[in-house]
């Protein structure tokens, strides 16, 4: 039986990913701050929870994230920049996944195909940025993309069958996007299915890349 570890399992997408991988016959382990006290911004919490896991996982997905840094909505202009909001965005959307990545080499098997994915966002693409704004969120997602890219290069040496991916799930109908009116949104279940399908289509040669829900590569 294959195994999956979902981090951020109580969120809209995280919970749907748990259900998706269970439906695929995987034994699923979920961790979240709400249910388990798993705080991705606390190195001690991350260390305690992840070193307590005594198995290797075929799939590990970091489904954590936030849109509003320190309670501030995404910036529409430079004058809206706040040091507090920017630091909070990096803490949740870049530092937290980085702390998780520290443990990924010990959680993935070395002898078989496996995958680690982090939820990014298209707005984190520098090349695709045509509108400006959303400075803190964009920068934090660009940072997590770079972290994922670097981790994929390192793990290529120790885990040659592993695939590491940054994934854009699209606009998903969760509390995260509640203020986005007039947009078509995927249900969390649809998003989870899309993401799982993209992961399964990737090979080690595509490790370290950035894809959207439709399996289209996104420019850095």
CA distances from 17 to 5, 48, 69, 141, 219 (A): 10, 23, 24, 20, 25
Tell me, what's the pLDDT at 70?
72
∠ CA 134-139-145, rounded to 5°: 130
- Residue 208 CB partners (closer than 8 Å, separation 6+): 148, 149, 151, 152, 153, 156, 164, 165
**pLDDT above 80: residue 184:** no
**Percent composition of the chain: helix, strand, coil (DSSP 3-state, to 5):** 45, 15, 40
- What is the predicted pLDDT for the residue at 112? 97
The percent of residues above 70 in pLDDT, for the chain, comes to: 96
Proportion of the chain above pLDDT 90, given as a percent: 88
pTM value? Answer: 0.94
* Confidence label for 182 from pLDDT (cuts 50, 70 and 90): very low
End-to-end CA distance of the chain: 35
**CATH fold of 3-212:** Rossmann fold (3.40.50)
Average pLDDT over residues 64-79: 86
Task: Please report which confidence band the pLDDT of residue 171 belongs to, taking 50, 70 and 90 as the band edges.
Answer: confident
- Structure confidence at residue 179 as a pLDDT band (50, 70, 90): low
Q: Is pLDDT above 60 for 158?
A: yes
Q: Which of 24-28, 185-189, 201-205 has the lowest mean pLDDT?
A: 185-189
Q: Are 108 and 163 in contact (CB under 8 A)?
A: no
Furthest CA-CA distance within the chain: 53
Residue 67: what pLDDT?
Answer: 83
pLDDT in tens, 196-215: 999 999 999 999 999 999 99
Residue owning tokens 């992961």: 199
Mean pLDDT, rounded, for 108-135: 96
């Amino acid at each position: 039986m294959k195994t999956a570890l979902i981090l951020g399992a109580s969120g809209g997408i995280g919970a749907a990913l748990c259900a998706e991988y269970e439906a695929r016959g995987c034994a699923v382990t979920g961790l979240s701050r709400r249910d388990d006290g798993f705080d991705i911004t606390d190195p001690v919490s991350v260390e305690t929870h992840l070193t307590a896991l005594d198995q290797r996982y075929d799939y590990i997905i970091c489904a954590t994230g936030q849109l509003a840094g320190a309670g501030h909505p995404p910036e529409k202009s430079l004058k809206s920049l706040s040091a507090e909001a920017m630091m909070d965005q990096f803490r949740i959307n870049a530092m937290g996944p980085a702390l998780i990545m520290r443990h990924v080499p010990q959680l993935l098997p070395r002898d078989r195909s496996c995958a680690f994915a982090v939820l990014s966002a298209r707005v984190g693409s520098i090349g695709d940025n045509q509108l400006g704004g959303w400075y803190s969120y964009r920068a934090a997602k660009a940072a997590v993309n770079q972290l994922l890219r670097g981790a994929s290069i390192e793990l290529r040496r120790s885990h040659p069958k592993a695939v590491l991916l940054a994934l854009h799930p699209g606009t998903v109908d969760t509390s995260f996007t509640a203020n986005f009116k007039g947009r078509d949104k995927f249900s969390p279940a649809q998003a989870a299915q899309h993401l799982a399908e993209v992961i399964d289509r990737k090979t080690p040669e595509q490790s370290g890349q950035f894809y959207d829900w439709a399996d289209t590569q996104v420019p850095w």
